[in-house]
Amino acid sequence: MNTLNESAKGVYLITVTPFKDDGALDLDSTDRMVDFSLESGVTGLTILGIMGEAPKLTAEESKLFVKRVLARVAGRVPVVVGASAAGFASMGELTKSVMDMGAAGVMVAPAATVRTDDQILAYFDMVNHTLGSDVPWVLQDHPVATGVQMSTRVVLSILKNSPRCVMFKHEDSPGLAKLSAIRAASDKGELRRVSILTGNGGGLFLPEELVRGADGAMTGFAYPEMMVDVCAAYARGDVDAAFDIFDAYLPLARYEQQQNIGLAVRKHILAARGAIASATVRKPGPSLSAMDLADLNRLIARQEKRLAQLKLSR
């Protein structure tokens, strides 16, 4: 059985939601995307994140999508489901539903309305109460998306108060100092050690974050093998190779991290790589211009050349 726990590491890929050209949910592509992801070597999947297209799904579509992903994964890797919700009743309902379907755990970010340290701590007391003592969960720290700034001290307090919080998803920026401090707290024995996966800037600081003690990454990228290979190289002690691989993909990763248009970029590449049938972003959403496509072609060609030089292409 795949339950999430504190020893999680490697790459939990945040997947896209595939749609057909007409905007309908594409369940066949969902299967292909799962296969594509697992073949790249990721150690987990994350679906229904707070960015991306989850909010564009109806409640019914969400359920269908989660079910299909879990069926296709079939227990091979843990699947985390985003459960941040406007209200605790919905959070509880969604959590129960996805855990019953076989999710490994849920991920929760603070509601955009909380501001002070006391409000944040009270919010996660309610989260613990809502999720109960069985469901493992991931604390997501993503101030750009939520508007909520959690200080290191607050994060440590939440972890202390939350026996079932097994992972910290680190997306604050600048966040390297926070990451170091949270890792140091468990190294010094002040706190049980939780898994730390990072998504800062969509993985744009991955090698530095591994050096600081991150256990891997949880984010999306059209070339998940980059993150897999960077983590693997770092894990086997080949720090230079980790940076070499990262640098080879960085120009494209940077381009894919543009707000808003980034999702269209990612889906375009995933479609070109055969992971999904259509690059369609459900309306309202961006589409790529001829100049955007020219940018991408140039970046991909340069990336392939660089990987070949480094003998890094798979």
> Which residues fall in the annotated binding site for pyruvate?
218
Among 21, 302, 304, 310, binds a second copy (CB under 8 A): 302
Q: Is the dihedral of CA 172, 177, 180, 181 positive or negative?
A: negative
Taking the complex as a whole, the smallest distance from the CB of residue 36 to a second copy amounts, in Å, to 25
CB closer to a second copy out of 116 and 133: 116
The rounded distance, in Å, linking the Cα atoms of 177 and 180 is 5
Among 93, 157, 164, 235, binds a second copy (CB under 8 A): 93
Q: Locate all alpha helices (DSSP H) within the chain, ordered by sequence.
A: 27-39, 59-73, 88-101, 117-131, 143-146, 152-161, 176-187, 206-211, 224-235, 239-256, 261-272, 290-309
- What are the DSSP calls for 59-88, one per residue? HHHHHHHHHHHHHHHTTSS-EEEE---SSH
Binding residues: 218
Per-residue binding letters, 227-256, with a second copy (x by CB under 8 A): ----------------x--xx--xx--xx-
Nearest to 168 by CA among 134, 138, 123: 138
284 binds a second copy (CB under 8 A): yes
284: preceding bond cis by omega (within 30 degrees): yes
119 binds a second copy (CB under 8 A): yes
Query: Residue 213 contacts by C-beta under 8 Å, 6 or more apart in sequence?
Result: 179, 180, 183, 187, 196
258 binds a second copy (CB under 8 A): yes
CB closer to a second copy out of 42 and 171: 171
Taking the complex as a whole, the smallest distance from the CB of residue 176 to a second copy amounts, in Å, to 7
Query: Residue 28 contacts by C-beta under 8 Å, 6 or more apart in sequence?
Result: 277
Burial of 216 (C-beta count, 10 Å sphere; 0-12/13-18/19+): buried
CB-hemisphere CA count at 13 Å for 294? 3
Taking CB under 8 A as the criterion, which residues in 125-184 touch a second copy?
126, 149-151, 153-154, 173-174, 176-177, 180
Taking the complex as a whole, the smallest distance from the CB of residue 144 to a second copy amounts, in Å, to 10
Taking the complex as a whole, the smallest distance from the CB of residue 290 to a second copy amounts, in Å, to 10
Per-residue binding letters, 188-227, with a second copy (x by CB under 8 A): ----------------xx--x--xx---------------
- Decide: 194 and 160 in contact? Cβ < 8 Å: no
Taking the complex as a whole, the smallest distance from the CB of residue 52 to a second copy amounts, in Å, to 11
Taking CB under 8 A as the criterion, which residues in 23-62 touch a second copy?
55-61
The rounded distance, in Å, linking the Cα atoms of 24 and 151 is 41
**Residue ranges in contact with a second copy by CB under 8 A:** 55-61, 86-90, 92-93, 115-119, 122-123, 126, 149-151, 153-154, 173-174, 176-177, 180, 204-205, 208, 211-212, 243, 246-247, 250-251, 254-255, 258-262, 282-284, 286, 289, 291-292, 294-295, 298, 302, 306
